[in-house]
Each structure stands twice: as C-alpha cells, then as structure tokens.
Amino acid sequence: MNDQSINNNNTNPVDDVIDFKAWFSKFVNNWAFFLISVVVFSCLAFLFMTYVPPSYNITSKVLVDQENSSSQSAGGGAATLGIDFSSIFGLPSNAENEVDILQSRNLMYTVINKMKLNVTVYSVQAFNVTSELFNEAPFDVDVKYRVKVDSIITRKYYVKFLTADQYEITNSSEDVDLKVKFGDSIKLEQFKIVLNKKPGAKIVPGLEYKIKIQPPGDKYDELSKSYDVELSDKQSTTIDLTLPYSSPEKGEAILQTLMNVYIKNNLDNKVQIADSTIKFIDGRLDSVFLELKNVEDKLQDFQKKNNFADPTDQSKALVTEAAAYYDKLNTIDVQLAIVNDLEKYIKNSNNKTIIPNTLSVQDPVFAATIEQYNQLLVDRGKLELSYKADNPVLKNTNDQIESARANLEKSFYIYKNGLLTSRTQLVNQNKFFDTQLKSAPATERIFLDYTRTQNLQQTLYLYLLQKKEETEISKTSTVSDSRVIDPAKSDYKPSFPKPAIIYVAGLFLGMLFPMGFLFFKESFNIRIISKQDVEKETPLPIVGEIGNNIEGNSMVVDKNSRSILSEQFRSLRTNLYYIPHASQSQVILITSSMSGEGKSFISLNLGSALAISGKKVVYLELDLRKPKLSAQLQIDRSFGFTNYIVSDEVAIDEVLKPVSGYDNCYIIPSGPTPPNPAELLLNDKLNELIAELRERFDYLIIDSPPVGIISDALILEKYADMVLYVVRQRYTFKSQLGILNELVVSKKLKRAYLVINDIKSVKGGYYGYGYGYGYGYGYGYGYGYTNEPVKKKGFLGRLLRK
C-alpha cells in the first residue's frame, strides 16, 4: 500500500462515477415501495380531479379608438390635419392607459359590489364535493351587514332543505344550528341573512347547499390573481381580457359586467368634461350679458338725450367700411378673452380641474394638447381610486401630467402671442378709421363708439350661446372611445385541471417520490452502507466480507460447518495466503474504529478457520479494558496475560490455555483488568512473549482495542505482520475511515487491510456484493448470506432496516 494512493483517493475521477447497476438494484429491491407510491399518487390525482373545481377561460376583446377628442372641438381642427399629437408631445398611448384602467382595483370592486360576488352559493354533492352556482340555486341570499363590510371575517354556512318551506342552516365556527323558514331573517354575529325562494323554484328536501360570505377585498384578491389584461399586439389598439372561473356562465357574466361598467365609466368621463365646459360657458355668459346690457342701456340713454336716431349716409359708409376690420378685431378679442380665461387654469399648477376644450381654439396643436392633458387628469382620477400616492404607476402618471402641462404652457403662449400680433396689426389698421371718424361730428362719433362696443359684446354673447348649445348636443350624443368587439365567451372545455396531465403527473410523482426518498436516504447517510462507500473513503484493499450473523453464535466455523458465514471465513483465510510472506509465521492484529464492530467475532472465527486447516493458532486477548474473547470461548480469564507481564515467576505455558473443540488452537486470556493497560503493553516481556509464540505457532491473532478510541492498538502494531481493520455495515461512520487513512499515511499502521462485517442479506446482493455458493450439499445460495431463505416481513420493515 503506498501513501500517495491514499492522498489521491478523493481526486480519482472514478469516485464520481454513478454506479447505475447498484441504483437499479435498489429500485428492483424496493419494487413494492414504487408500486404502492404509484397507487397512492394516482389516488391523489383522482381526488384532485374530484375535489378541485374546474377552471374555464373566459375571454373577450375591446377596441380602443385612438382618435383624439379634440377632433370634435374647434371645428375639427386637429382631425382635419390628420396628426397624432401624442407622438409629438411624448404622451402615452390611449390603449396602454386603458389597460391600466381595466386592471384597476376600483373597476373590479364596482363589479363585485354590483353583482354581490362576495356572496357565493355552492351545491354540495356526495363526499362533500362542491360546485359553484350562478342562477341555478332555488333561492336568493340577501345579506345585511352589521359591521363594516371590509372588516368581516369569511364565513361558510351549510343549508339543507327540510321541507318546501323550511331549511336548516349550520356553521360550526359560530355554533350555528338553526331551523328557519324561507323569508325569515337570521341574525348572526356579523350580518343578517335572509333566504328567499325564487318564483317557481322547486324545493327538494334533502338537498344541501353551501353559502360563502367574504369581504369584497378577499373576492378581489381571488379574481385579480388570474384576471389578465393585455394588448393583442404592440401595434394594435385592441385589448384581450381573460378571466379563468369555475362556473362558465358566472364567469361570462362577471367579465361582461366589467366591460359594461368600463364603457359606462368612459362615457361618464366625457360627460364630466362636457359639464365642466358648460359650467365655464355659463359663467362667461352671465358676465358678457351684464356688459352687453350696460352698453345697450348707455346707448339708449344717449339716443334719448340727444334725440339721435341714425348717423348720416357718409358716416354710415365710414362705419360700414370700418366694420369689417372691427369684426376681425372682435374675433381676435373674443379669442383673447377666452385665452385669458384659460390662462387662469393653465398658470395655476395647483389647479387639477379639467380645462374646457370645446371653445373656438383655432390652433390645432394647442387644442390637441388640451385634450391630452384632460385625459391624463381623468386617468389619474381613476388610478387614485386603486393606488396609493407612492405607487410607481401613479407617480408615472403625475410625471406625465407635469410634462403635458409644460407642453400646454408652451403651446398656449405661442398661440397667445400669435393672437396678440394679429391684434396689433388690426389695431393699427383701425387707427386710420378712428382718425376718419374723429372728423365726424362729435355726436356721431360717440354714437359709433357705443355701437362698436355693443357689436363686440353682442358677438361674444352669441358665440357663447352657440358653443353652449353645441356642447349640450355633444353631451347627449357622445359615444365611448372604447367598444366591445368580442363579448365574454367561455371555452367549451376547462383549462384546468386537464385529466391527462394530472394523471401523468400523479404517475410521475409516484415514481419520483420513492426515487427521491432512496436518493436522499443514501445522500444523508453517514454510515457505511455499501462497498462503494468503503472504496470512496479509503483505497485500502478489502480481503474479507462477512455476512450477518443472524443466529448470534460466537463460533460459526468448525470442521463440519457449511454455512455461508463459515465459507466466508474460509474465503478470508484463503485471501490471507496470497499476502506476501504469508507462508511464514504471521502475527495478525485485529482492530477497528470503535467498540461493537465485531473484532472479537472476526478474531475467533478467523483463528478457527486457520486451525481447522492444520495451522497452529494462538489468540492473544490484549483488549485489556473490555476483553471478550475468553468470555465467548467460555474460558476463565482471571489468570492470564496481565499475570504474566507483572510477574517474573509466571511462565508462558501457565497462561496458555487450549480452546475446546479445536486442535492446535490456544488462547492467552487477558487476566485481571489492570489500572494501567497501556503501560503493560509497553513492557519488554511482551516482546519476549511474541518472539516465543512465533516459534511455537503458525499464527498469532491479537484482539486489540479500537484504534479510533485509544492508542493500545498502535502500541501493538509494531509486532504485527498485518493489520485487519474491521468495518461493520450500517454501524461504522464514513468519517472514521478518514482516521484510518491518516494512520496509514503517517505510517502508524502498516500493512493494513479491511474486513467488512455484518453484511445484511438483500436480494440482488449487498449493494455491490453478490455471492454464489454451491458445494453439492443439497442447497445453493444465489444471493444471500444465510442458509435460510430471506424472510419477507413487509416492504416497509425491510426498507427501514436498510
């Protein structure tokens, strides 16, 4: 054995190779475990299919009209240009905004409250299998909440029909067990319940139903987990809505109601904008009416006072010629008056109200920007119902509003400056006519001033009346920007669970579970189980493999024995003959990692196997702390090795005792237990003892203490020609073989070999060991280690024993 081979043991690539044959053997040996696992998981799959309610995919499609509302205002200025101003100002697409609205909490809550979805009725079938009902239940449930609806705790009540007019309602958590007539109120802890028979419904005694009452928030959580809204395509404005639900009819109703509420909210938003515009126009009409009345009153007083009816023909011609320019100036002044009123909304950053947008705004970019800004305000109002102030979606919308406001201010001032420039030109032109009018008589000039002011106010008043009427008409005839192109429709077959997939998954898990159990059992095992475990931990050669001693006899080898155990000791004896210098007198030291691994058992039967082959054998019972050899041979150990070492008067023959039943087989028992066993083993007389025994015997078998606990075996190692290190299956720790490697590398143990003890009988061999013995004695052994068939006491017992 060379030390380098031990040092390189863990880096050998062969160590990482999976022994598929060994694993296959494990699976074959545990076929019953696999069979039962497959049956159990198949039953679980069946129960899953029975008790888990099916889920049907309900789908619909909505189209969002991208046309800006500004096309309906200002004479269709923006629409006539055919420009999408949202791309110019970086404003979000309407379709993407509508996706957020369709997913909003407020919209779903509205549907839940409208349809009373937090109150669910189920039919109860055999084995307590329930199925959600929509309109199939023969009764309606009326719930009046005694506490805040969001604070209630989910409750389930079972209803069983007793007669056509009476039913029994039970709930174990509230200790409710009542017999009630239909139409009577049931006063419970959180609410009052009234069950009313539906007209024409047939009440069958014995039928059972379940009523589930939960907070709307819980129902929202259930629906929102699977409810999905997404654009059909990045380049399109159609939106796909999907809602999985256990009842296809109820799922269709929920999704259709949600779309109806969404369309209605969209219309309500447009009406809100129209109402805002009408309110603004009404305020301006009141102001302009007062100004117009004031001018007309002054003009009437002037005419009465001066008895003035009509200007001269020359003045008429001058007024007519100037009228065209005055009209243009009036138009500009009207627009400036509107712009000045709008400026109050635009300049005030704290003003979050909608800006009226149906007035005569001639600039199409400004009109489109107003429309986009108003739409963002409406969207934020919806989002505020669903999200908190620090939500990223709401923050993003606020950022978009600020950006839109900046674009709005920029567009506003460009529009206003253009109006001011036009007005300046018209004012300069009108100065000429003013000069001409000044040359007219003073009375006519004053009359013309009154007339011009009257015309200006009258024109503005008529314009506002016209716009109010247009807005009223638009309000009553407005249509939603979105429309349903595919109504809610359920799939014919449930999307979940799919029987084929569930049963295949059950079969797969039925195979995977025992495989995983065996794998993890193997992975987390810290003891020696298989030959591969030994070979992975140490490269020391294995010279013997001894089976399980079921009968518990200390001596299993004699001249007439033909059991598997006896044959295994004969095989060990044969293997020792092939070790170099085996023909000479051999001192065999037998040790292990700890007590209980079978050192004494191996020592006795190896010596017996050597003795029946004609060799002279002597046992040295040098495990002075816990001697077992003499007890197992039923030999008195009160006088033995310790007496020989401590006394010069004791001869070897006095402590040398024959072993009954075996010729040429002797033992030197341990003697009285000494207080200092290690010091006794260091005595020079031990050297003399070993030397003389070498002359008289062919084999000296030393039963020493465990090398992993005390140092006695290391003291005795210098006398040994070979060391047999005993490893016991399912007893020796893997880590203890590391101690053995260290001893070999440090040369504290030389010429060490392994003997694996207590190998359990398993069909197919001991995880890599399989033997065949057939010597013509009337029986053969194909894979066991005893001369009896393996007793099957149930696969679970055998599995746990493994």
Q: Is the pLDDT of residue 118 over 90?
A: yes
Rounded to 5°, the CA angle 720-721-723 comes to 70
Rounded to 5°, the CA angle 366-328-79 comes to 30
Grade residue 321 by pLDDT with cuts at 50, 70 and 90.
Answer: low
Residue by residue, DSSP assigns 516-547 as HHHHHHHHT--B--SHHHHHHH--PPEEEEEE
713, 748 Cβ separation under 8 angstroms: no
Grade residue 762 by pLDDT with cuts at 50, 70 and 90.
Answer: low
What pLDDT does 151 receive? 86
416, 333 Cβ separation under 8 angstroms: no
Q: Which of 156, 120, 163, 165 is nearest to 140 (CA)?
A: 120
Please name the amino acid found at residue 45: A
Q: Is the pLDDT of residue 314 over 60?
A: no
658 to each of 611, 617, 696, how far by Cα in Å? 12, 10, 14
716, 681 Cβ separation under 8 angstroms: yes
Over residues 723-761, the pLDDT tens digits come to 999 999 888 888 888 888 888 888 888 888 999 998 876
Percent of the chain with pLDDT over 70: 80
Q: Is the pLDDT of residue 84 over 90?
A: no
Q: Which of 294, 94, 122, 331 is nearest to 207 (CA)?
A: 122
545, 726 Cβ separation under 8 angstroms: no
What pLDDT does 90 receive? 40
Question: pTM (2 decimals)?
Answer: 0.53
Which carries the bigger pLDDT value, residue 471 or residue 32?
32
**What are the tokens at 633?**
């041979």
DSSP code, position 413: H
What pLDDT does 6 receive? 55
**What are the tokens at 572?**
């060990």
Over residues 172-194, the pLDDT tens digits come to 888 899 999 999 999 998 899 99
669, 600 Cβ separation under 8 angstroms: no
Over residues 2-47, the pLDDT tens digits come to 454 454 444 443 345 566 666 677 778 788 888 999 999 999 988 8
* Weakest-pLDDT range from 27-41, 295-309, 414-428, 501-515: 295-309
What pLDDT does 424 receive? 83
- Section 543-568 average pLDDT: 85
Q: Tell me how long the chain is.
A: 802
* Weakest-pLDDT range from 305-309, 396-400, 674-678: 305-309
Q: How does the average pLDDT of the chain come out, rounded?
A: 79
Asked, as a colleague might, if the bond just before 497 is cis with ω within 30 of 0, I would say yes
Which carries the bigger pLDDT value, residue 441 or residue 767?
441
Question: What is the C-alpha to C-alpha distance for residues 494 and 58, in angstroms, rounded to an integer?
Answer: 10
Residue by residue, DSSP assigns 202-251 as PP-TT-EEEEEE--HHHHHHHHHHH-EEEES-TT--EEEEEEEESSHHHH
Grade residue 322 by pLDDT with cuts at 50, 70 and 90.
Answer: low
Other beta carbons within 10 angstroms of residue 438's beta carbon come to 9
- CB burial readout 66-76, b (16+ within 10 A) else e: eebbbbbbbee
Which own/partner contact pairs does 553-559 have at CB distance under 8 Å and 24+ positions apart? 554/600, 554/601, 554/604, 554/632, 554/633, 555/604, 555/605, 555/608, 555/632, 555/633, 556/605, 557/605, 557/608, 557/609, 557/612, 558/608, 558/612, 558/661, 558/662, 559/612
What pLDDT does 155 receive? 92
Strand-pair category, 586-592 with 699-703: parallel
What pLDDT does 779 receive? 30
Please tell me whether residue 309 adopts helix, strand or coil conformation. coil
Question: What is the C-alpha to C-alpha distance for residues 729 and 713, in angstroms, rounded to an integer?
Answer: 22
- CB burial readout 358-368, b (16+ within 10 A) else e: bbbbebbbbbb
Structure-derived torsion over alpha carbons of residues 713, 715, 719, 720, reported in degrees to the nearest 10: 30
**What are the tokens at 729?**
């299956």
What pLDDT does 80 receive? 34
- Section 358-362 average pLDDT: 59
Grade residue 307 by pLDDT with cuts at 50, 70 and 90.
Answer: low
Residue 573 CB partners (closer than 8 Å, separation 6+):
606, 609, 610, 613
What pLDDT does 318 receive? 61
Over residues 579-594, the pLDDT tens digits come to 766 556 689 999 998 8
126, 51 Cβ separation under 8 angstroms: no
Kindly list the structural domains of the chain, giving each domain's residue range(s) and its CATH number in brackets, ordered by start: 3-52+497-523 (no CATH), 57-255 (no CATH), 263-362+413-480 (no CATH), 531-756 (3.40.50.300)
Question: What is the C-alpha to C-alpha distance for residues 361 and 363, in angstroms, rounded to an integer?
Answer: 6
219, 154 Cβ separation under 8 angstroms: no
**What are the tokens at 582?**
């085996």
Grade residue 701 by pLDDT with cuts at 50, 70 and 90.
Answer: very high
516, 41 Cβ separation under 8 angstroms: no
**What are the tokens at 181?**
């007539």
170, 284 Cβ separation under 8 angstroms: no
**What are the tokens at 662?**
């075996």
What pLDDT does 74 receive? 37
**What are the tokens at 478?**
């407005």
Grade residue 666 by pLDDT with cuts at 50, 70 and 90.
Answer: very high
The H or E element containing residue 329 is: helix 313-347
201, 139 Cβ separation under 8 angstroms: yes
DSSP code, position 153: P
Strands (E), 580-713: 586-592, 617-621, 657-658, 665-668, 699-703
Over residues 164-174, the pLDDT tens digits come to 899 999 998 88
Over residues 601-656, the pLDDT tens digits come to 999 999 999 999 889 999 999 988 889 888 888 898 889 999 999 888 889 989 99
Strand partners, 157: 211
Please name the amino acid found at residue 72: Q
Residue 296: exposure state from Cβ atoms within 10 A (0-12, 13-18, ≥19): middle
- Section 502-506 average pLDDT: 90
